[in-house]
């Protein structure tokens, strides 16, 4: 045998042993670890290669490396067991908060480092017909600052209205700053909103934009935030992008239902803090967090939650699981993409078993067919426990709502799937207020009244071919 044959005979077992050791040390689930070790050892040539491309979780490490470029930390936090760094006064937990929600408020404070903000006003805005005029009016009334962060910014008839409004604000001397996600705002043909804003002199940046030189295509690590802050007096957040497709009453071929939330009050400081955190990253410049606005009057307590594959990894996930465990009467979830992690799925099943009315509302027709097929594959796990699953009739519904017992709500950009809870940077708003929660719960009830309730029988009686395709999409869902 030639020398290189001996080298290969020694090299491949060494690589296989290294890959198997890596899977043993870094896989959280023993079943996942066993599976990868079997693939590696049973196919010593191909197995390590497959593991290298699909088995190693690079998202967390890449996300944590981004911290080196962040201007300040969003997660001061505190230990759940440290009574000196965590106290009721510092966390701003009201004494009259429902007892079941106190642990929830405490946990979210410990994870986020942000106290509850008192005295806010939140107005739900349905679809682009309500949201866009309110946003444009705020921009046109701006006197000092306009901060806009968005995932998708289409330069269509709606996008051009925003580009014109941002240009006017810039021309009259306002400090206008815009962050658009590098993938969500990418346009292969024609000018993008980013290009049009730059041409007009508006201060605009892209978040992790794709590039050929140097090669960089990050499908994950996307900035899924949607926020607008004007003069630190009014803010908007939710799940709605800037696009004509969100005009529900239009004849757009891809029209969608969605919701945005108008904010007034001290929680705007937290919203602006998260925007400036992103701005410092995309510009590579030092940025100081904004001055916190004083607490207001009123019973609406809010908190912004930033989540992402960096210092905030799994925090929104933990908050949602905790909220499910706190439920005593009812949980209502509205989500366009519903593929919950195993522990959240189990928490929902346990909640229903102990008598909580659990309701999940998803679209009947999805804009991403493979995710719809993957969702359908796992519905039986909820249905066999008695969880109510409803499918909204078309057009596609992009709304994201999470409500507990008519007293707690979590709304924002995050979907209930692996991409949102582990791969993207997300922005959600916690609301501890019965009036607001019951208002959006009434909206969810109106969706249920017109929706199709899914039964265990129809899920189990799908044709074999359809079940196989659904299962394959479910298996690939972490990578889609």
**CATH, range 121-264:** 3.30.870.10
pLDDT digits 0-9 by tens, 17-28: 777 777 777 666
Q: Which segments of 258-407 are extended strands (E)?
A: 259-264, 301-307, 330-334, 357-363, 388-392, 396-397, 401-404
Q: Specify the higher pLDDT residue, 297 or 216.
A: 297
Q: Is the pLDDT of residue 8 over 60?
A: no
Question: Per the confidence metrics, is the pTM higher than 0.85?
Answer: yes
Predicted confidence at residue 79, as pLDDT, reads 46
Residues 326 and 100: beta-carbon distance below 8 Å: yes
Tell me: pLDDT of 5 over 60.
no
Residue 142 pLDDT greater than 80, yes or no = yes
The class level of CATH for 315-479 reads: alpha beta
| Distance from the first to the final alpha carbon of the chain | 45
Using the predicted structure, report yes or no on whether residue 214 has a pLDDT greater than 60.
Answer: no
- The confidence score (pLDDT) of residue 30 equals 64
Indicate the DSSP class of residue 81. T
Q: Where in the chain is the domain with CATH 3.30.870.10?
A: 121-264, 315-479
Token pair for residue 282? 């995309």
Q: Confirm if 359 and 332 have CB atoms less than 8 A apart.
A: yes
Q: Tell me: the pLDDT tens digits for 383-422?
A: 999 999 999 999 999 999 999 999 999 999 999 988 788 7
**Which of 391, 390, 323 lies closest to 351 in space, CA to CA?**
323
């Amino acid at each position: 045998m030639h020398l290189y044959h001996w080298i290969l005979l020694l090299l491949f077992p060494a690589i296989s042993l290294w890959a198997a050791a890596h899977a043993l040390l870094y896989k959280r689930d023993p079943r996942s670890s066993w599976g990868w070790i079997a693939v590696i050892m049973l196919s010593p040539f191909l197995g390590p290669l497959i593991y290298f491309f699909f088995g190693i979780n690079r998202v967390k490490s890449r996300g944590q490396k981004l911290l080196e470029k962040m201007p300040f930390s969003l997660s001061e936090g505190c230990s759940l067991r440290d009574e000196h760094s965590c106290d009721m006064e510092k966390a701003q937990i009201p004494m009259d908060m429902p007892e079941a929600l106190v642990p929830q408020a405490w946990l979210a404070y410990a994870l986020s480092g942000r106290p509850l903000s008192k005295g806010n006003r939140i107005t739900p805005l349905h679809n682009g017909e309500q949201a866009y005029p309110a946003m444009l009016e705020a921009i046109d009334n701006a006197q000092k600052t306009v901060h806009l962060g968005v995932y998708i910014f289409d330069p269509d008839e709606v996008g051009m209205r925003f580009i014109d409004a941002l240009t006017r604000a810039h021309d009259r001397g306002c400090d206008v700053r815009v962050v658009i996600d590098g993938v969500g705002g990418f346009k292969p043909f024609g000018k993008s909103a980013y290009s049009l804003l730059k041409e007009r002199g508006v201060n605009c940046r892209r978040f992790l934009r794709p590039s050929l030189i140097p090669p960089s295509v990050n499908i994950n690590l996307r900035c899924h935030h949607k926020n607008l802050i004007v003069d630190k007096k009014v803010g908007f957040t939710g799940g709605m992008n800037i696009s004509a497709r969100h005009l529900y009453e239009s004849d757009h071929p891809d029209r969608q239902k969605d919701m945005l939330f108008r904010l007034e009050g001290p929680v705007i400081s937290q919203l602006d803090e998260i925007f400036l955190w992103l701005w410092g990253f995309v510009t590579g410049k030092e940025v100081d967090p904004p001055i916190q606005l004083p607490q207001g009057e009123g019973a609406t307590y809010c908190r912004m939650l930033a989540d992402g594959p960096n210092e905030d990894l799994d925090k929104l996930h933990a908050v949602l699981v905790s909220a499910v465990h706190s439920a005593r009467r009812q949980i209502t979830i509205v989500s366009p993409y519903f593929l919950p992690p195993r522990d959240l799925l189990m928490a929902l099943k346990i909640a229903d078993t102990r008598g909580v009315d659990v309701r999940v509302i998803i679209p009947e027709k999805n804009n991403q067919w493979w995710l719809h097929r993957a969702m359908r594959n796992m519905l039986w796990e909820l249905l066999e426990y008695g969880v109510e699953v409803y499918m909204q009739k078309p057009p596609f519904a992009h709304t994201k709502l999470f409500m507990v017992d008519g007293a707690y709500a979590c709304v924002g950009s995050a979907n209930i799937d692996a991409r949102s809870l582990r791969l993207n940077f997300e922005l959600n708003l916690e609301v501890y207020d019965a009036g607001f929660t019951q208002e959006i719960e009434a909206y969810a009830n109106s969706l249920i009244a017109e929706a199709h309730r899914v039964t265990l029988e129809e899920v189990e009686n799908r044709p074999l071919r359809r079940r196989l395709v659904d299962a394959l999409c479910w298996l690939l869902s972490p990578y889609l």
